[in-house]
Amino acid sequence: MKVVMINDCAFVGETLLKYLPADVEKQHIKRTRGWWSKTFGIAYSIARAKADVYHAHYLLQDCYIAARLGKKPLVGHAHGSDLRQQLRSRRWGWIVRSNLKNCDKILVAQPTILAAAREYNETAEYFPIPFDPKTFFPKPLNAGREEKHVLLASAHDFAVKGTDKLLKAVASISKTPITVKSISSGKDLELAKQLAKELGIKIEFMPKVQHQKMNELYWDSDLVLGSFGVGQLDTVAIEAMACGRPVVHSVYKEFFPDCPLEQLESVEDSANLISMLLTEEDKVQKRVATQLDYVNTRHSAPLLSEKLMKIYIGLMGNR
């Protein structure tokens, strides 16, 4: 069997390819955001590709090109904003809807968007975000530090990630000395810098790091903040939990009933939870163990690659 993976999102495709069986031939067609690369360049690469299964990430032009070029069976993998935002948009909605209708199988990375996908394709199913256990694995917590290290791992997008609310929650904690590290990314980065200054937070805005180096940031932290936004379970929260760090990240409990993370309702709720996870060691240890069990049984890449292979084999059998 040969699998061609087209594009990627949050390293999901790259991680899954790594754990597919050794006897599966793999090709990953990637692109940049440059005009040529994301138009004629990607079209040329897809046209030349020959495979038994094609798997396109994000339901925009890459998937559309593969469908128009007759690449079958075709898996379309939705990752969030393509169905949450672009599906109904005037500019891109027609492409997303076409992809949903014309793919042989639809996978969605968030259960929050599953219903939207099934409006157009009954094959749609929730496929959890994988983490690489060879890169993201637990290490002992940092003991004895008076000043706690908090990592704000999400990109700064106030509407989607709610990082402004998390900054306000950190600022409201006065009894525990805290230093915050935050990655310099997101459309609201400058607003976040301004807000942190106004709130008097001790914070370091770091350059983006390579994905495989994110584990070092998690391990150096006493607590990881994900997002307080649209209620989905993001890659940074999954990887931080896999690294054995307590995580504060808001999820919709309707869609994630077994997830050991809360549905945050207010800045005050977030602040109380952050304070507890920085000061109460017994609760931290219990939470870390629960988080590890959750991600290891639901999000481990070797397990999900096995599931993906069954999907691929099923599609080949239906040809």
Report whether CATH 3.40.50.2000 matches the domain 148-298: yes
What residue segments make up the domains of the chain, in order of their start? 2-129+300-317, 148-298
The 10s digit of each residue's pLDDT in 177-228 is: 999 999 999 999 999 999 999 999 999 999 999 999 999 999 999 999 999 9
Same fold, 2-129+300-317 and 148-298: yes
Q: Burial of 64 by CB count in 10 Å (0-12 exposed, 13-18 middle, 19+ buried)? A: buried
Identify the band that residue 90 occupies on the pLDDT scale cut at 50, 70 and 90.
confident
**Contact call for residues 27 and 49 (beta carbons, < 8 A):** yes
Domain 2-129+300-317: which CATH number of 3.40.50.2000, 3.40.640.10, 3.30.70.920, 3.90.550.10: 3.40.50.2000
CA–CA gap between residue 281 and residue 285 (Å, rounded): 6
| Per-residue pLDDT, 39 | 74
Is the predicted pLDDT of residue 29 greater than 80, yes or no? yes
Is the predicted pLDDT of residue 319 greater than 70, yes or no? no
Going by C-alpha positions, the residue among 182, 170, 159 that lies closest to residue 229 is 159
Non-local (6+) Cβ contacts of 289 within 8 A are none
| Per-residue pLDDT, 130 | 98
